[in-house]
A and B are shown apart, each in its own frame.
Chain A
Amino acid sequence: MTDSQPVRELPSKLVQLLRMLWRDKLACIAAAFLLLVICCALFGPMMLEDLATKQNLRGRNAPPFDFSKNWTFWLGGDALGRPLLARIIVAAGNTMMVAAGAVFCSLLIGTTLGMIAGYTSKLTSQIILRLADVIMSFPSLLLAVIVLYMLPASVGNLVIVLAITRIPVYLRTARAEVLEIRERMFVQAARVMGASTPRIIFRHILPLVFPTLITIATLDFAFVMLAESSLSFLGIGIQPPEITWGLMVAQGRSYLTSAWWLSFWPGLAIIFTTLSLNLLSNWMRVALDPQQRWRLEMSTQND
């Protein structure tokens, strides 16, 4: 409006964000990979469901990289001769649903409770914290076993169980950060201005707590995937013929000496997904922080 300077900064927030993503090549690759996983999760089960569940006893434990076979067998076949590649693609659906659902629910509930515990009266805070302690001191596997014996083992119930066991992590972190940030000068400045409690929490405290929580969430993603597989292994999680990456790792374990690829490929999928999430969250932490953002903005001027 006044000078040329504000005009230069005017491209919409989304365009700015995409530009910053492009500048961090690793984060860009990570984003592309995650997009691929999401596509697999959305469309994989629809298109490859039959292929992934059809047994083919002649292809039992077929070794990978045999390019004479159908493309679905390029990563080998499992103990019942089902193509691993197709199974990984199909399993992405369940895996993502359980992991993302559990992480998202625990993040949401944990953060909310943590914020409340950190910002309100001592009594409320004590009640919430003791609840978290109860969850933490109760073996999560035992809790899952009890709940899943009573409820049918569906994706929804699995998400609930996993979410409950992971809540304390976010709750504790959020509370600790809030306790520190609420004493900062700018929060006091907002109080002097008459800002309401929700405003202080959402506008002033949450944006500073969020990057930490997101980083924890990405790490938790892998944990949840593996926890889900151990539940499946105990026979109370996702059950065959449904598949998840964790379940595939668990099933392949007995063949590790003779057919390593059974556990290796789904394991690789888990590693890559978590790694990508980590890279992306790392990028996000920088991109969302005005003090750090120049690192992403500057590199173009140098290029």
Chain B
Amino acid sequence: MTDHLLDVQSLSVEFHTAGGTVKAVQDVSWYLDRGEVLAILGESGSGKSVSAAAVMDLIDMPPGRISSGRILFEGRDLLQLSQAGRRAVNGRKIAMIFQDPLSHLNPVYTAGWQIEETLVIHGTRRREARAQTLDLLQRVGIPDPAASAAKYPHQFSGGQRQRLMIAMALALRPDILIADEPTTALDVTVQAQILSLLQDLQRETGMGMLLITHDLGVVAEIAARVVVMNSGRIVEHGSALDIYRNPSHPYTRDLIAAAPGKGDLPSNTDRRADALLDVQGLSKSFGQFEAVRNVTFDVMAGECVAIVGESGSGKSTLAKAILRLDEPSAGKAFYKGRDLFSLSDKELFNIRRQIQMVFQDPTQSLNPRMSIYELISEAWVIHKEILPRAQWHERVQQLLEQVGLSADHAQRYPHQFSGGQRQRIAIARALALEPELIVCDEAVSALDVQVQAQVIALLSDLRKKLDLAYIFIAHDLPVVRDFADRVIVMQGGSIVEQGSVRDIFENPQQSYTQNLLAASLDPDPEIQAARRAARSL
């Protein structure tokens, strides 16, 4: 009855931690056939990677323990095999690629040597291995294979490193390729390239591919079947299109509803006349390298301006320069008519409270040694004129409730909260200073889709209530679409295009913007299929 290539049957894995036993996956069953792509979709902590780790024997035991289930590969139960038996299957029959290719490539060996080594370990002769390596590099689209083989991992870009990992995984022609969030760390345009490479390779070799992801767009682009996981259990299982069209489980429904970029575009409204921030000709260079080149834009009071660009486009450097965390090389930035870059320290101190920042990773932007009360009230320790000490307690509780937390969270420490809650705390801290402009540097990029939607809803709600202006920095276009009034597209340190959301999304003028829009993935499998068809023409 087991004619599937890989068949996971009622697998349960638990981890013994100091906090008690955690059931990472419970009673999980799925199968993978030759020549198909199965996606496991879930948010962080849903256990989506655990069953794949069990297949690859990557679970540390203890603390982990496989409490029940079987993993059948070509009819044999992998869990019953000896260590040597597992090694013969791993790599040769089942290969895996990971999210962060840099940490999985050894920095002291050349890329070519590492791929050769994989072949040599599994019994290919050195000279043949060399030839095969060059073929593989060619196949995964690395330019000039012979020269690239002699380079070290750090000399490649993120996308190329992922290509190297794929080459290494495919070296032994495995029957199954497991890809754990293969494109999460990559820019959208690179992501599209890698996904299409994976798809081509899968069709060519007829291997089965298991894709673990949190991104509905990735599922829509590449997977035929999908398994949706939530807190260690499979909630739904079916074809990607079916699940997108008719989700039967409420969790899946919420997940699909939370996907950004589906609302109606706001119509072009007249901009207010009073410019809150007016940046003129801002440049910032590090030595010879110009990170930001002659950037000019403005932000009106109460407006949300999104700055979108891929990594290395200079968007974060721009934000740091505006906040004077880094001194700009040239240019002016008028905040309410006064140039931020020529302020004295004292004037700068006074303006600090009006421009606040929310950082990408709330785990790092909150001091782990301070309680929530200390974190939020620090604003008033620094700016004493805002609030007399007697009212601090009350105000902290108010702020916590305003961002959707409970008042008695004040005595806890950041590590006791989830990622989304921590970002709420960071927002509460920014609000404590009663700012008029908040710079959000990738403020929702590290969060799960549903949490992302909640935080964005919170930000727009606060904007209405408090008449805040935002500079919203993101690499993800769909997120921006639901939230911003204006969009600025950056590439290589300069502004490529700017305009209202509607103009940018419906009528992008520059080819870079058009590419960026085309590369971002839609959660609807049919739309993605149509786009794929359009691309291949």
Contacts and interface: CB of A to CB of B under 8 A. Distances in A.
Contact of A195 (B356, B378, B411): B378
A204 interface: yes
A194 B378 CA distance: 10
A270 to B, nearest CB: 33
Interface string A177-190: 00000001110111
Contacts of B367: 186, 190, 204
19 contacts: A1-B393, A5-B411, A185-B359, A185-B365, A186-B365, A188-B325, A189-B359, A189-B366, A191-B325, A192-B323, A192-B352, A193-B433, A194-B353, A195-B382, A196-B382, A199-B382, A208-B369, A290-B371, A294-B18
B216 interface: no
B413 A290 contact: yes
B75 interface: no
Contacts of A193: 352-353, 356, 378-379, 382-383, 429, 433
Contacts of A2: 397, 407-408
A298 interface: yes
Contact of B357 (A3, A189, A196): A189
A216 B225 CA distance: 56
B349 interface: yes
Contacts of B360: 185
Nearest to B361: A185
Contacts of A9: 411
A194 B408 contact: no
Interface string B110-147: 00000000000000000000000000000000000000
A15 to B, nearest CB: 16
Contacts of B415: 290-291
A287 to B, nearest CB: 12
A295 interface: yes
B180 to A, nearest CB: 26
Given A194-B352, A291-B413, A291-B415, A3 B382 contact: no
Contacts of A139: none
Interface of A is mostly: helix
A241 interface: no
Interface string A136-164: 00000000000000000000000000000
**Residue with the greatest number of chain B CB neighbours at <10 A, chosen from A2, A3, A185, A192:** A192
A186 B360 CA distance: 11
B281 interface: no
A245 B382 CA distance: 49
A184 B359 CA distance: 11
A14 to B, nearest CB: 17
Interface in A1-34: 1-3, 5-6, 9
A9 B371 CA distance: 13
B45 interface: no
A5 B360 CA distance: 31
A52 B410 CA distance: 57
A289 interface: yes
Contacts of A195: 378, 382
Contacts of B356: 192-193
Interface in B364-399: 364-369, 371, 378-379, 381-383, 393, 397
Contacts of A294: 18
A148 B244 CA distance: 83
A240 interface: no
B365 A298 contact: no
Contacts of A1: 393
Given A3-B408, A9-B411, A195-B382, A189 B352 contact: no
A6 B360 CA distance: 30
A207 interface: yes
B419 to A, nearest CB: 14
**Residue with the greatest number of chain B CB neighbours at <10 A, chosen from A9, A194, A196, A207:** A194
Contacts of B361: 185
B310 to A, nearest CB: 21
Contacts of B382: 193-196, 199
**Residue with the greatest number of chain B CB neighbours at <10 A, chosen from A186, A188, A203, A290:** A186
Given A189-B359, A194-B353, A290-B413, A5 B408 contact: yes
Contact of B369 (A185, A290, A298): A290
Contacts of B364: 184-186
Interface in B276-303: none
B172 to A, nearest CB: 40
Interface in A98-155: none
A59 B356 CA distance: 77
B316 to A, nearest CB: 11
| 10 nearest A-B pairs in the assembled complex, by CB-CB distance | A194-B352, A185-B364, A290-B413, A185-B365, A186-B367, A192-B357, A291-B415, A207-B369, A194-B349, A189-B365
Contact of B383 (A194, A203, A204, A295): A194
